[in-house]
Amino acid sequence: MVAKRIIPCLDVKDGRTVKGINFVSLRDVGDAVELGRRYSDEGADELVYLDISATFEGRRTFCSLVEKIALAINIPFTVGGGISSVDDAARLLDAGADKISVNTAAIKNPRLISDIASKYGSQFVVIAIDARQVDGLWMATTHGGKYPTDKELFSWAHEAQERGAGELLFTSMDHDGTKAGYPLATYRELNQLLSIPVIASGGAGSIRDIADVLGDGCADAALAASIFHLGEIRIPDLKRELKKLNIPVRI
């Protein structure tokens, strides 16, 4: 059985890891390279770095940071945030990232997925979808959930897979930050619909929540940020408990 993955997520602004709510009231929580190294040493299976810099200089800083991360850790890492062209993806992959994540830019230009996948391969492309329920339908949003779109979650996820995405990172904006668990039925449906791995994001407040989405929710991986950054759940403890619950993980 394929092992389930645990993936800490680090939001990066101008080279530093920050924490906030919807990118507001940000505070520094540590050096991005050192935090990555710590999570790697603790047993994280992968890392995700999201660049939330608003300036061109911040983007340049992030690109050089990717080179430092690649030298410092020995687990795969994905980078996302502000990738809107093949050239953007190329710079980050050439700097040492293992995968890139696209979200808003792919909704605006779905061909971006196939353009990147045709150059580098599907295994390098993660489609990130932030969606919330509207009149009973899951509808994709952009800019971290701020703006609605006309793209429905399941049809957009399937289209992204057909265009060459090798993995889906789905965040329920209705559950994100609530620490009240994940929409398990939605993850099960995504698992049945798609042939690519599905990463669950948003809603984790306990080890039980993560166990549920990896088990009953059929997700291939669980991504979280604040519960790891604030020390509410330690990765070694999480993995030991998951193993007790017969969730296959690497220890």
Which residues form the catalytic set? Answer: 11, 130
Q: What is the 3-state secondary structure (H, E, C) of the chain?
A: CCCEEEEEEEEEECCEEEEEECCEEEEEEEEHHHHHHHHHHHCCCCEEEEECCCCHHHHHHHHHHHHHHHHHCCCCEEEECCCCCHHHHHHHHHHCCCEEEECHHHHHCCHHHHHHHHHHCHHHEEEEEEEEEECCEEEEEECCCCEEEEEEHHHHHHHHHHHCCCEEEEEECCCCCCCCCCCHHHHHHHHHHCCCCEEEECCCCCHHHHHHHHCCCCCCEEEECHHHHCCCCCHHHHHHHHHHCCCCECC
